[in-house]
Amino acid sequence: MKNDEGQSLADPGVLKKEMSRRDFIDWVIKGGILATLSGMLFPALAYLWPVMGRGPKIDMEEVGTLDEIPVGGSKKVVLAGSALLLIRTPQEIKAFSAICPHLGCVVDWDGPKREIVCPCHAGIFDLEGRVVSGPPPRPLPSYPVQIVNGNIFINL
Which residues are paired to 22 by β-bridges? Answer: none
pLDDT digits (tens, 9 = 90+) for 19-37: 888 999 999 999 999 999 9
| Nearest CA-CA partner of 86 in 29, 27, 49, 127 | 127
pLDDT digits (tens, 9 = 90+) for 51-104: 555 555 557 888 888 888 899 999 999 888 889 999 989 899 999 999 998 888
User: Can you give the pLDDT at residue 63?
Assistant: 87
Q: Which residues of 70-87 are buried (b: 16+ CB within 10 A; e: fewer)?
A: eeeebbebebeebbbbbb
Please say whether the beta carbons of 93 and 85 come within 8 A. Answer: no
Domain positions in the chain are 12-48, 61-154
Measured distance CA(144)–CA(154) in Å, rounded: 6
Q: Answer yes or no: pTM beyond 0.85.
A: no
Please say whether the beta carbons of 145 and 153 come within 8 A. Answer: yes
CATH of 61-154, one of 3.40.50.300, 1.10.357.10, 3.40.50.2300, 2.102.10.10: 2.102.10.10
